Amino acid sequence: MFLNYLDSRNINYSIPGKNVYDFDSVKLYLLNDEIKSEYNFYNVLNRSLPIKLKHGNNDLLFTGGLEIRGEKVLIESFDDFLDADVIQIANNGSNVSSSTGFLKTVNPYFAVINNNLGNYFNNPSEDVLARLTMLNSNTLRTDL
């Protein structure tokens, strides 16, 4: 569907490798293909499609709804490749995501947390915010 969309918009692209899309100065990596099939039983959040976007010297990691179980699988599959300047924090900053090990692997300069003001779950979690502070990550929040 993604390729059909690009074609319908006459967007030039190339696919230099499996699940890598090259748009001139931007590379888009779909990080699910290498994930081991035995993890397919995980809930839908842990089967989110994490995406790494490289633009020049900037790396951005979009985690979807990955929970800690999915983060572990991602680390097993991609390890140092997960290093990124910017990370989209999964699950609105809930404590079910953004484990210390995962955040250390990504080592983001900026962490973006998408959340509503006064949300029912009181996210982002204080634990997640403390982990980001420990890593000296600059946290940007849509609820503030």
What's the CA angle centered on 121, arms 119 and 124, to 5 degrees? 80
Alpha carbon 68 to chain centroid distance? Answer: 12
Phi-psi region of 44 (alpha: psi -120 to 50; beta: other; left: phi over 0): alpha
Quick: pLDDT tens for 5-60: 888 998 877 655 568 888 888 999 988 755 555 555 567 777 678 999 999 999 99
> How much is the pTM?
0.82
